[in-house]
Amino acid sequence: MTTAESDLARTRRARRIDRALAVRYPDARCELDFRDAFELLVATVLSAQTTDVRVNQTTPALFARYPSAAELAVADPEELEELLRPTGFFRAKAKAVTGLSQALVERFGGQVPGRQADLVTLPGVGRKTANVVLGHAFGVPGITTDTHVLRLSLRLGLTASEDPLQVERDLMALLPRRDWTAASDRLIFHGRRTCFARRPACGACPVAALCPSAGIGEVDPVRAAAMLKG
CATH of region 37-137: 1.10.340.30
| pLDDT of amino acid 1 | 38
C-beta of residue 195 within 8 angstroms of C-beta of residue 17: no
C-beta of residue 94 within 8 angstroms of C-beta of residue 81: yes
* Inter-CA distances, 145 with 58, 113, 149, 208, 217, Å: 24, 20, 5, 22, 23
d(CA 189, CA 148): 8
Domain ranges across the chain: 7-28+145-160+178-227, 37-137
| pLDDT of amino acid 8 | 97
Amino acid at residue number 113: P
d(CA 38, CA 84): 17
Catalytic residues: 128, 146
Residues with Cβ < 8 Å from 143, sequence gap 6 or more? 131, 149, 167, 168, 171, 172, 180, 183, 184
- Long-range Cβ contact pairs of 224-230 (< 8 A, separation 24 or more): 225/201, 227/194, 227/196, 227/199, 227/201, 228/193, 228/194, 228/201, 228/204, 229/192, 229/193, 229/194, 230/189, 230/192, 230/193
Half-sphere exposure of 166 (CA within 13 A, CB side): 7
- CA-wise closest residue to 135 among 14, 19, 37, 21: 37
- CA-wise closest residue to 178 among 135, 125, 127: 135
pTM of structure = 0.94
| pLDDT of amino acid 118 | 97
Exposed e or buried b per residue across 161-184, where buried means at least 16 C-beta atoms within 10 angstroms of its C-beta:
eeebeebbebbeebbeeebbbbbb
| pLDDT of amino acid 3 | 67
* Inter-CA distances, 167 with 142, 149, 173, 189, Å: 12, 9, 10, 18
Per-residue pLDDT of the chain (230 residues; tens, 9 = 90+): 356 899 999 999 999 999 999 999 999 999 999 999 999 999 999 999 999 999 999 999 999 999 999 999 999 999 999 999 999 999 999 999 999 999 999 999 999 999 999 999 999 999 999 999 999 999 999 999 999 999 999 999 999 999 999 999 999 999 999 999 999 999 999 999 999 999 999 999 999 999 999 999 999 999 999 999 98
Domains 7-28+145-160+178-227 and 37-137 share a fold: no
Q: Please tell me the class of the 7-28+145-160+178-227 domain.
A: mainly alpha
Question: Taking the chain, what is the end-to-end CA distance rounded to the nearest angstrom?
Answer: 40
